[in-house]
């Protein structure tokens, strides 16, 4: 009997012998921008792709991929995404307030971003009592996970795909920064730790309650749960390791361990940026898989060294750069990059290959088609990628020269 993607994933993540490198696409950070999707549909008329107007992540303007496209690309994962609830439209403006009260505004029809010109909802809070008095979202809103249990059971019983519980769009640190205002909250962590901790405590407690309801619905069927909380920039951490360990890490640990207590899942932690100094800490919080391995940031480009140091402790997801590599790569360079990351991160399992973030409209649709086709052809174990690695090794040298310039 043929190995299923679900069985192959378990082998890849548990030190077994996977038959191929698992391939992912379709969660809310890791789908396809609506403009790119339209171009893909034009190149694949035989698939008659639907969902061209079904938004998956309103902020990023990505779409729910059609099942026909997921099958065409041989994607191993199917994601169960919480429903957008308690969202309020902004009157007279292309924008909205999310469930936490954070204001967003449209950006040229391309995406939505936090509206930095509007006061953050907790900017005026002075004491923990002010935090308690805020109009917090209802963590028990049944609409947030309506229909997901039935969908999870159907997929579990009728397919062999890896099933994932997609992230609730909030993380303790990023939510605190957005609700308080970035500059103010960074100061709070140092000069007003009581208020800082009160805010993180409230956010984390609400997230735990939401995840309890989420796992009540899908927990018996999913193999992976996804959480997000950005900790890095292109060149450095958002905060020092010392401050992270003192102020943020306890709340990540609380959330991650709570989720894993609710269901038998691997926990995948998303954090963009140059987060190398915190990977060991993330392992200690309970993270099993690191996403997105943003190789265009400082310290994350040497994936062989990354795997040598942490590979026995955490798995890796992503590493196919959509910021510098995929927008400009030739077909030969793309093939070389796929070979490099598979070799570095997945020679013995423990790696899920995927674009490291959303596939944007600055990437040629032909490149996207080539990526998924190459992964299918190159990703079976034992990996035999020497020929690909021997060609176009100058690609990263060129990127490095351009970056230095």
* Cα gap 271→228, rounded to integer Å: 6
Which contacts of 383-392 are long-range, i.e. CB under 8 A and separated by 24 or more positions? Answer: 383/21, 383/342, 383/343, 383/346, 383/347, 385/339, 385/342, 385/343, 388/335, 388/336, 388/338, 388/339, 389/336, 389/339, 389/340, 389/343, 391/332, 391/335, 391/336, 392/330, 392/332, 392/333, 392/335, 392/336
What is the SS3 assignment for 355?
strand
Residue 25 has pLDDT above 70, yes or no: yes
Q: The whole model's pTM is what? A: 0.95
Average pLDDT over residues 195-199: 98
Determine which helix (DSSP H) or strand (DSSP E) holds 280, and give its type and residue range. Answer: helix 279-285
Determine which helix (DSSP H) or strand (DSSP E) holds 354, and give its type and residue range. Answer: strand 351-355
Quote the tokens at residue 387: 């020929």
The answer to whether the Cα torsion of 44, 49, 53, 54 is positive or negative is negative
CB 202 within 8 A of CB 182: no
**pLDDT, position 393:** 55
**pLDDT, position 74:** 98
Instruction: Tell me the per-residue pLDDT of 333-365, one tens digit each, with 9 for 90 and over.
Output: 999 999 999 999 998 899 999 999 999 999 999
Residue 397 has pLDDT above 80, yes or no: no
CA distance readout (Å), 71 to 35, 67, 203, 286, 373: 21, 6, 37, 32, 12
Instruction: Tell me the per-residue pLDDT of 161-176, one tens digit each, with 9 for 90 and over.
Output: 999 999 998 999 999 9
Average pLDDT over the chain reads 95
* Percentage with pLDDT > 90 across the chain: 92
**pLDDT, position 130:** 98
Instruction: Tell me the per-residue pLDDT of 369-391, one tens digit each, with 9 for 90 and over.
Output: 999 999 999 999 999 787 767 65
- Tell me the pLDDT band of 392, cut-offs 50, 70 and 90: low
Helices assigned H by DSSP within 286-346: 303-310, 325-328, 331-346
Instruction: Tell me the per-residue pLDDT of 305-343, one tens digit each, with 9 for 90 and over.
Output: 999 999 999 999 999 999 999 999 999 999 999 999 999
């Amino acid at each position: 009997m043929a190995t299923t993607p679900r069985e192959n994933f378990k082998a890849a993540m548990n030190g077994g012998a996977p038959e191929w490198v698992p391939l992912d696409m379709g969660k809310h950070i890791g789908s396809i921008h609506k403009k790119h999707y339209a171009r893909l549909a034009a190149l694949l008329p035989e698939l008659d792709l639907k969902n061209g107007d079904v938004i998956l992540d309103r902020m990023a303007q990505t779409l729910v991929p059609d099942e026909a496209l997921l099958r065409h690309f041989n994607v191993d994962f199917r994601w169960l995404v919480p429903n957008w609830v308690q969202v309020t439209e902004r009157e007279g403006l292309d924008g909205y307030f999310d469930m936490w009260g954070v204001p967003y505004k449209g950006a040229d029809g391309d995406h939505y971003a936090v509206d930095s010109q509007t006061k953050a909802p907790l900017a005026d809070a002075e004491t923990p009592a002010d935090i308690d008095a805020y109009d917090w979202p209802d963590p028990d809103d049944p609409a947030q996970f309506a229909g997901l249990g039935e969908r999870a059971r159907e997929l579990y019983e009728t397919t062999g795909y890896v099933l994932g519980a997609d992230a609730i769009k909030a993380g303790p640190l990023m939510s605190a920064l957005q609700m308080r205002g970035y500059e103010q909250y960074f100061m709070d962590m140092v000069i007003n730790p009581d208020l800082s901790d009160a805010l993180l405590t409230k956010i984390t407690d609400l997230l735990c309650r939401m995840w309890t309801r989420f796992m009540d619905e899908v927990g018996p069927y999913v193999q992976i749960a996804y959480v997000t909380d950005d900790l890095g920039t292109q060149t450095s951490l958002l905060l020092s390791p010392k401050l992270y360990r003192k102020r943020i890490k306890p709340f990540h640990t609380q959330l991650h361990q709570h989720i894993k207590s609710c269901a038998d899942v691997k926990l995948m932690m998303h954090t963009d940026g140059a987060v190398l100094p915190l990977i060991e800490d993330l392992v200690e919080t309970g993270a099993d898989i690191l996403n997105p391995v943003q190789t265009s940031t400082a310290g994350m480009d040497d994936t062989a060294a990354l795997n040598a140091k942490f590979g026995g402790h955490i798995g890796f997801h992503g590493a196919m750069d959509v910021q510098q590599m995929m927008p400009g790569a030739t077909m030969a360079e793309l093939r070389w990059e796929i070979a490099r990351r598979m070799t570095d991160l997945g020679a013995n399992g423990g790696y899920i290959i995927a674009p490291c973030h959303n596939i944007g409209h600055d990437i040629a649709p032909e490149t996207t088609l080539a990526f998924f086709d190459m992964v299918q052809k190159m990703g079976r174990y034992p990996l035999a990628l020497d020929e690909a690695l021997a060609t176009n090794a100058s690609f990263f040298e060129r990127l490095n020269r351009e970056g230095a310039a």
